[in-house]
Amino acid sequence: MKKTTTFILASSLLVSSMAMTSCEAVKNSNNTQRGATIGAASGAIIGGILGNNIGKGGNGALGAVLGGVVGGAAGGVIGNKMDKQARQIENTVPGAQVERVGEGIKLVLGENSVNFDLNSSTLTQRAKDNLDKLTKVFKDPENVNTDIEIYGYTDNTGKEEYNLSLSKKRAASVRQYLASQGVSASRMKTDGFGIADPIASNDTKEGQAKNRRVEFAIKANEQMVRDAHNQAGTR
């Protein structure tokens, strides 16, 4: 499981000082401690900066995860829950690329887990089998209070406008299948970014296959945030 904390310098001296202090503390902490280390005020400011910048021009899942930092002791509680869920996914879904980011999870399902044939938004049988495994994680009682954002991508063959539409259909196919297996549709929303942000070279068929993928941003929903504040005694 890849662990990443990213900070972007802001022009405001106040935000900069918060970011520098938080960055040094986070660097020396584990994922469970990160939310508490950042702090409620600086966490909200930094989260907004990261979400607005990284979410532009692609990097949809990463931007979505980073855009909702709660911070403080409640953020530490959420981080602990996300640590556990990330390990579950990593141990359950073959080929899943799991990255703990801030207080959420970025999940990439590509050619070895949930892939698509060229010019297709139809899930392969292998894709369905692996989504069945992911469904069990999402339906775990400890994980039900999360929002799930699903983003589709394509390789660079064909027209850009068509690929954008195809990527949205791929994300929708994943959402529809997860819903059919019992994951609440209200937890999930989808979008597509077409050829943006390739994770492999489009110069080879192997690279193109990797780029025909879906990414997930898994975040605390309002209920998890309320529960975290209650557990931390911050509200």
CATH (domain of 35): 3.30.1330.60
pLDDT on residue 69: 78
SS3 label, residue 187: helix
Could you give the number of structural domains in the chain?
Answer: 1
- The string of pLDDT tens digits covering residues 137-147 is 999 999 999 99
pLDDT of residue 93: 92
At residue 234, the pLDDT reads: 72
What was the pLDDT predicted at 171?
96
Backbone angles phi, psi at 213, to 5 degrees: -145, 175
Give the C-alpha separation, 205 to 211, whole Å: 10
Per the structure, the complete domain to which residue 151 belongs is given by: 2-232
pLDDT at 60: 74
Q: Among the residues of 59-204, which ranges form H helices?
A: 60-66, 72-92, 125-139, 160-180
CA distance 15 to 13: 6
205 within 8 A of 155, measured Cβ to Cβ: no
CA distance 128 to 116: 11
Which pLDDT score, from 0 to 100, does residue 50 have? 42
pLDDT given at position 92: 93
User: Among all chains, which residue has been given the structure tokens 């941003």?
Assistant: 217
| pTM, to two decimals | 0.77
Instruction: Calculate ∠ Cα 137-4-232, nearest 5°.
Output: 65
Per-residue pLDDT of the chain (235 residues; tens, 9 = 90+): 765 543 333 333 333 444 444 444 444 445 444 444 444 444 444 444 444 444 444 467 777 777 777 888 898 999 999 999 999 999 999 889 999 998 999 999 877 788 788 888 999 898 999 999 999 999 999 999 999 999 999 999 999 999 999 999 999 999 999 999 999 999 999 999 999 999 999 999 999 988 999 999 999 999 999 999 998 887 6
Query: What is the C-alpha end-to-end distance of the chain, expressed in Å?
Result: 32
